[in-house]
Amino acid sequence: MKNELIQKLTSKTAVIGVLGLGYVGQPLLLRYSDIGFKVIGFDVDEEKVRELNSGHSRIEHILDEKINQAVQTGFEATIDFSRVAECDALILCVPTPLNKYREPDMSYVVGTTDMLKPYVRAGQVVSLESTTYPGTTEEELLPRIEESGLKVGEDIFLVYSPEREDPGNPNFETRTIPKVVGGHTGACRDVGIALYEPAIDQIVPVSSTKAAELTKLLENIHRAVNIGLVNEMKIVADRMGIDIFEVIDAAKTKPFGFTAYYPGPGLGGHCIPIDPFYLTWKAREYGLHTRFIELSGEVNRAMPEYVVSKLMDGLNEKGKSLKGSRVLVLGIAYKKNVDDMRESPSVEIMELIEAKGAVVAYSDPHVPKFPKMREHNFNLLSVELSEVTLKEFDAVVLATDHDRFDYDEIYAHAQLIIDSRGKYRHVNGKVIKA
C-alpha cells in the first residue's frame, strides 16, 4: 500500500484533495495544479466554492488568472465531502483560532476530520497543516481515522506538516519555503515526504508528528517573544526620549548575535498572536507554566491600548478630548500590503476608540469594505484619502504602513498623526510617536 501510494505521488497520477480554501489552501492547490496534479478543493462556504470554480479568488494577492488557469487544467472546488474518496492525498488547511478563554478552538480540525471520516479509504495519506498544539494529530485525527477499521501506517498514512505561508511577501512562495514533515510512523513520514517532494524545493523530515507540531509553535513563539521585547523597549525608549527605531537600526549593524525586530501597535495574523497560547495551554497538562511566553503575550496584547493612550495625549495637547473627536485609522490589515484582517490589532484600536466616545473611520487601499469577522463588526467603507477628507478628522492613527499610502499628503493635511510604525520618525510637530 505504501509503495503504491508513493509511486502515484512521485508520478503525479495521484489526486490531491485540499480541505479549507483560504490563505493556506489556495496557494497550495495552485502549486499542485501548476505541476500537473489533479486537485479537488473542499470548503463549507458555498459562495467561495462558486467563486473559485468561476475563476475568482477573494484573496487580493492571489490573481484570478492563476485560479482560472487551475480550473482550465482540471481543478474543481466542491462542498461535497463524499468526493474525498476520489483523492489519494487529503491536506487539511483549516483555521485553529482561540476561544474566548484564549484556549485552542479545535472545532474546525475536528469538524473537518469528522466530515471526511466516512469517506476515507485504504491507500490515502491525510496531512494536517493547521497550526496546533503538540499531540493534536495523535489525539484528534488518529482515533477518528482508525474508526473506519483502517490501520494508520499500513492501510492509510497520517502526517503533520505545518503551513509556512507569508501572505504578501514577494521573496518567498509555496515552492521555495522548506517544508517540515512528521509522520505517525516511519512509513507515514515516507509517504509524507513523497506527497510534498514534487511541490516543494526542500523537505525537512522530523521524527514524529509531535516534533513537527512543536516546530511550528517554536517558529512563531520566537517571533512573538522578540516582538514583545521590542514593544516593551519602545515604551521604555519613548519615556526616555529616545527613538527606538534609531536604536534598532544601530544595533542591527552588529554582524552577529542580533536580529532586528520592529515594534508596532500589537500582533496580528493567523499565527503569531495565537500560537503561543496553544503551547501554554498544552504545557499545563504537564504541570508547567510557560511564564516567559505568557509575559510577552501580555506585552503584545497591551499595545493597542498604548496606541490609544498616545492618541488621547495628542488630542489633549490640542485642547481636545477623545470623546466626540473624529479619528481615522490608517490601515486595518494586520500587516502592510495585504488584505488579511485576521487578528489585526487595528480592529482592536478601532473598538477602543469607539468605546471612548469618538467617531471612528478607516482608510485601507487593500480592504475597501470592512469584512464580516467572527468577533468584530464595523459597517464601514474605506475612506479615500485626500486633502479634504484628511482635514475632516481630528487625528489619524497610522496602524498599518501600506506602501500605497501617500505619506507626504497625509503629513501635509492631517491635523494630528499618531504613528505606531515609525514612518514619521524624523518628523516633529503634529506627529505623536506611538
63-82 pLDDT, tens per residue? 999 999 999 999 999 999 99
The answer to the question of residue 93 being in a domain is yes
| Spatial distance between the Cα atoms of 181 and 129, rounded to a whole number of angstroms | 10
Q: What is the pLDDT of residue 75?
A: 97
The answer to the question of residue 295 being in a domain is no
The answer to the question of residue 264 being in a domain is no
Catalytic machinery residues: 271
What domain range is 167 assigned to?
2-212
119-130 pLDDT, tens per residue? 999 999 999 999
Q: What is the pLDDT of residue 423?
A: 95
pLDDT of residue 157 exceeding 90, the answer is yes
pLDDT of residue 255 exceeding 90, the answer is yes
One domain for residues 90 and 202: yes
- Residue from 171, 346, 180, 151 nearest 265 by CA: 346
Q: What percent of the chain has pLDDT over 70?
A: 100
Please give the model's pTM, rounded to 2 decimal places: 0.91
The 3-class SS string of 18-54 reads EECCCCCHHHHHHHHHHCCCEEEEECCCHHHHHHHHC
Q: What is the CATH number of the domain that holds 74?
A: 3.40.50.720
Q: What is the pLDDT of residue 93?
A: 97
pLDDT of residue 320 exceeding 80, the answer is yes
One domain for residues 322 and 182: no
Q: What is the pLDDT of residue 202?
A: 98
pLDDT band of 414, cuts 50, 70, 90: very high
One domain for residues 181 and 78: yes
The answer to the question of residue 251 being in a domain is no
Helix (H, G, I), strand (E, B) or coil at 160: strand
Boundary-marking domain end, from 185, 212, 239: 212
The answer to the question of residue 315 being in a domain is yes
One domain for residues 331 and 182: no
The answer to the question of residue 113 being in a domain is yes
Boundary-marking domain end, from 212, 245, 280: 212
The answer to the question of residue 243 being in a domain is no
pLDDT of residue 60 exceeding 80, the answer is yes
Domain count, the chain: 2
394-409 pLDDT, tens per residue? 999 999 999 999 999 9
Boundary-marking domain end, from 189, 212, 235: 212
Q: What is the pLDDT of residue 101?
A: 79
Pairing of strands 326-330, 395-398: parallel
